[in-house]
Structure 1
Amino acid sequence: MGQPTATPDSVNSLTVHDNRTGKVYNIPIVDNSIPATAFKTIQAPRAPGEREENETEKGLRVSDKGFLNTAVLRSEITFIDGDAGILRYRGYPIEQLALHSSHLETAYLLIYGSLPTKPQFKIFETEVLHHGVTHADAEQFCRSFRYDAHPMAILTSAFAYLGSYYGEANPSLQGQSLYTRGNAASLEIMDKQIYRLIGKATTLAAMAYRVRQGREFVTPPTGLSYTGSFLYQMDHLGEENYTPNPILEKALDVLFLLHADHEMNASSTTVLQTGSSLVDPYSAIAAGCASLYGPLHGGANEAVIRMLISIGKPENVPAFLEAVKKREKVLSGFGHRVYKTSDPRSFIVRKTADEVFKITGKDELLETAMALHAAAMKDEYFIKRKLAPNVDFWSGLIYRAMGFPLDFFPVLFAVPRVVGWLAHWRQMMLQEGGVKIWRPRQIYVGASKRDYVPIDERVAVEGLRKGPSAISHSG
């Protein structure tokens, strides 16, 4: 008997032959992607001895640990070509935006889809800066943290705390279609939360900074730019007519613009995963902040500085690189999950660093960084593995030169990334077909059905990871 055949409906399809059953399936290809749910139709009877937990009769599951090749949504916001080193916001090359735009103008672009006219930008900028002021209770909230609390812990908590003040922004209180209706009233509520979150991000970050310094909080000033206001709130010491250095203000604005979005990274995905339950945006942003807190994400530029400090002088670079090759040391600031050649942001940040160093003086670690960069880019080991400098390699040096403490670096990543988080959140709320809660599948490989055993009849399972650890207690 011949095998069943199927004729593709279109050249834009994938033909799958299931060797278990002999059946052939045609799966449509749209925008060079295939729907994972199509594989649920590829069903087969359970093989003799096969675990029932495999659920073979219910169709194939797609296994993708770490989301290496799974698209979770259709987006119009950011495009990345990691092989070519391309990054575009809404179609605009990052190089052009860094040269001609500002962080707030780019925020408008990311959120609303186009560059604003002067009247449009005036409204957006005015609203964002107007909403920089926090409730007086926020001071008491931030002061409740210990003086040595990590600023990211304060910022993450503060975003969640904000949500408790705005009942009109909570779908749990106002109805689950609060942000998904897409009408004028719904969009107005949504925009107000966007203004609040972007505006208050710098204020809360500055408060977290000044808690660590033991200094009074500063009310956001009028008449300054977004990044100018941020620097003012952190550094103002009571001088008359104080204004931040314009070159440092511009440098920080460029860094904010470069960090505003980066497609489906860990924190953006966390915001959308959380937001898919239709929680209020403050809780979703707090979740993204918590995700960015991790050293594999927002803490990378801090790790670069700690690495450079450990290397010390330029002459120690060769020995360090040899230790990296032997996996005795970790090379931070090189390579990227997405970029396989060079990170386009790194070239812009390197140029920005030169401008900053003209004001602050060269960082003592700069020579070490340049020596490490030069040696790694000539070494076949790193060339073969496509380990080029990423944005974190140079940005940490800029932050350090400007006087920011090391543990504040992730905050400087989170503040601008609020824009990208909100752009993706807004897009999901307004997507065609509404919001569906994200619920990934799993592949269960645990024990099959077993019966309960009374405690006196059980045999202990020994071994590392098989039971709780015994902790020694002091005092």
Structure 2
Amino acid sequence: MGRPTESNQDSLTVRDNRTGKTYTIPIVDNAVPATAFKEIKAPRKPDEREENETEKGLRVQDKGFLNTAVIRSEITYIDGEAGVLRYRGYPIEQLALHSSHLESAYLLIYGSLPTREQHLHFETEVMRHGNMHVDSEEFFRSFRYDAHPMSMLTSAFAMLGSFYSEANPSLQGQKLYTNGDKESLATMDRQIYRLIGKATTLAAMAYRVRQGREFVTPPVGLSYTGSFLYQMDHLGEEDYKPNPVLEKALDVLFLIHADHELNASCTTVLQTGSSLVDPYSAIAAGCASLYGPLHGGANEAVIRMLVSIGSPENVPAFIEAVKRREKTLSGFGHRVYKTSDPRSFIVRKTADEVFKVTGRDALLETAMALHDAAMKDEYFIKRKLAPNVDFWSGLIYRAMGFPMDFFPVLFAVPRVVGWLAHWRQMMLQDGGVKIWRPRQVYVGAGKREYVPIEKRGPVQGLKETPSAVEHGGITKRTMLASFKGKSRL
């Protein structure tokens, strides 16, 4: 790019009105390379800021990654306008009906549905790697009694990296996962088995430490979700087996939550992983991202919203408060889906099966009233605010007896699969891994000369000055005391 080229239908012709030059940018898979715009340069105007770097080429500005593709992927396809979600080409509805979480995990990571032998090998390795080192018990016991389970899970994933030095490219060489040879792939797969296998164990440990219970060794002979429920709930009963309906429901929920393309947490994993850090640290970073209320905490927000509404008769008033922007509507709409979330229909059906054995949740009537009212209201129809997967999943988790602050953990455990699938794809991509280093548009001050402290004037403004913090207890008493070295401002 840089000069006019032959006419090509699969290209974009750009004319820079500043210079009159015309550029041809190739279009591949309906995408244009952002780096091509660096060739579009112009002389800096006399009154223009040098920080604009106009003579160094155009930058592509996209706040919040609204329309920026950062990687070529073969894993998950989403059509938000049509409400389509496919894992490696397979519709999520078919997988939820016929597949299992671990089978779909194999599909996401390795690209195809496994044979019976391949599935058995993968499942055996994952389940075999569920056991934890005994030192991890002391790690979990070190948390406060009321620590949030997502804080514990995030820390635990990072802690795992300290147990496996052979998994760290900083110690074993930068090409540990990017070589693509038999030894490199085996090392990569071993970490995948460990992370998927230990995800349920770590989550169960976070759950039980909050309950003041001893930890449970992963059982033999149960399914992935059956083992998870066993580790959370077993108290020494003989031949203990989780309820099969709850076990199946959790498996379906795990399957549909396993991946969702480049969401915030997956992007965090890839951003972190691009530095070639060990996969445990990358997964911990993704877990931290998922912790946020705009991401993994959404289903918890739905329950809190329903509790605040109280009963079906209060729904109309709540709807009007939402329209006046006085209340926040949780569980409706999606950053990607502009129609119904395809996962929401699967979860709704699963909810019916769960309620048959647990009984109807007290909030279900309120949820149904809110659902029906919103789907008939022109305000929500016009804004395409249909129920998403979070609207029903929180009700299922609540009916199954999970505390609300454990809901994000139930999101993070299956999402480990998707994170690993994208991490593995990036490690093995053509051309190797390049560290992700986004550009910025600098709009701050130009060059300034240093001013000695005695000549500086105060800068006023709420955002420009540090906040005053009110202290109490021992800090307050210490500040009132006198001692050698005390600051005298």
- Taking structure 2 as the reference length, the TM-score comes to 0.96
Distance 1:375 1:71 in 2: 37
Give the aligned partner of residue 156 of structure 2: 158
Please provide the CA RMSD for this pair: 0.8
CA contact (8 A) 1:44 1:56 kept: yes
Give the aligned partner of residue 79 of structure 1: 77
Picking from 214, 220, 223, the partner of 2:221 is 223
CA contact (8 A) 2:268 2:286 kept: yes
Give the aligned partner of residue 116 of structure 1: 114
Letter of the 1:352 partner, please give it: T
Distance 2:322 2:212 in 1: 40
CA contact (8 A) 2:38 2:57 kept: yes
Q: Residue 9 of structure 1: CA displacement?
A: 3.8
Letter of the 2:72 partner, please give it: R
Question: Measured at CA, do residues 8 and 363 of structure 1 come closer, stay the same or move farther in structure 2, by a change above 3 Å?
Answer: farther
Q: Residue 94 of structure 2 aligns to a residue in which SS?
A: helix
Q: Residue 238 of structure 1: CA displacement?
A: 1.2
CA contact (8 A) 1:8 1:15 kept: no
Quick check: 1:214 aligned with 2:212? yes
Picking from 178, 187, 190, the partner of 1:189 is 187
Q: Residue 12 of structure 2 aligns to a residue in which SS?
A: strand
Q: C-alpha offsets along residues 148-170 of structure 1, whole Å, 9 cap, x if unaligned?
A: 00000000000000000000000
Distance 1:193 1:13 in 2: 42
Give the aligned partner of residue 411 of structure 1: 409
In the TM superposition, what are the counterparts of 1:34-45 in structure 2 within 5 Å?
34-45=32-43
Q: Residue 129 of structure 1: CA displacement?
A: 0.2
In the TM superposition, what are the counterparts of 1:323-338 in structure 2 within 5 Å?
323-338=321-336
- Taking structure 1 as the reference length, the TM-score comes to 0.99
Give the aligned partner of residue 201 of structure 1: 199
Distance 1:90 1:199 in 2: 22
Alignment gaps of 5+ in structure 2 = 474-489
Give the aligned partner of residue 33 of structure 1: 31
Q: C-alpha offsets along residues 354-393 of structure 1, whole Å, 9 cap, x if unaligned?
A: 0000000000000000000000000000000000000000
Q: C-alpha offsets along residues 114-137 of structure 1, whole Å, 9 cap, x if unaligned?
A: 000011011100000000000000
Give the aligned partner of residue 129 of structure 1: 127
Distance 1:237 1:437 in 2: 47
Distance 1:387 1:147 in 2: 39
CA contact (8 A) 2:177 2:428 kept: yes
Distance 2:352 2:92 in 1: 19
Distance 1:143 1:358 in 2: 37
Q: Residue 23 of structure 2 aligns to a residue in which SS?
A: strand
Q: Residue 13 of structure 2 aligns to a residue in which SS?
A: strand
Q: C-alpha offsets along residues 147-192 of structure 1, whole Å, 9 cap, x if unaligned?
A: 1000000000000000000000000000000000000000000000
CA contact (8 A) 2:3 2:24 kept: no
Picking from 411, 424, 427, the partner of 1:426 is 424
Distance 2:15 2:130 in 1: 58
Distance 2:392 2:49 in 1: 51
Aligned identity (percent) is 83
Q: Residue 7 of structure 1: CA displacement?
A: 4.9
Quick check: 1:58 aligned with 2:56? yes
CA contact (8 A) 1:105 1:115 kept: yes
Alignment gaps of 5+ in structure 1 = none
Distance 1:340 1:458 in 2: 52
Q: C-alpha offsets along residues 232-264 of structure 1, whole Å, 9 cap, x if unaligned?
A: 000111111110000000000000000000000
Letter of the 1:420 partner, please give it: G
Distance 1:7 1:36 in 2: 18
Q: C-alpha offsets along residues 286-309 of structure 1, whole Å, 9 cap, x if unaligned?
A: 000000000000000000000000
Distance 1:471 1:169 in 2: 43
Letter of the 2:230 partner, please give it: Y
Letter of the 2:369 partner, please give it: A
Give the aligned partner of residue 272 of structure 2: 274
Q: C-alpha offsets along residues 418-451 of structure 1, whole Å, 9 cap, x if unaligned?
A: 0000000000000000000000000000000000
CA contact (8 A) 2:44 2:54 kept: yes
Q: Residue 6 of structure 1: CA displacement?
A: 3.2
Distance 1:267 1:40 in 2: 29
Picking from 387, 390, 399, the partner of 1:389 is 387
Give the aligned partner of residue 137 of structure 2: 139
Distance 1:263 1:137 in 2: 35
Q: C-alpha offsets along residues 451-470 of structure 1, whole Å, 9 cap, x if unaligned?
A: 00000000111011111111
Q: Residue 5 of structure 1: CA displacement?
A: 8.7
Letter of the 2:390 partner, please give it: D
Distance 1:231 1:8 in 2: 63
Deviating beyond 2 angstroms after TM superposition, the runs of 4 or more aligned structure 1 residues are 4-9
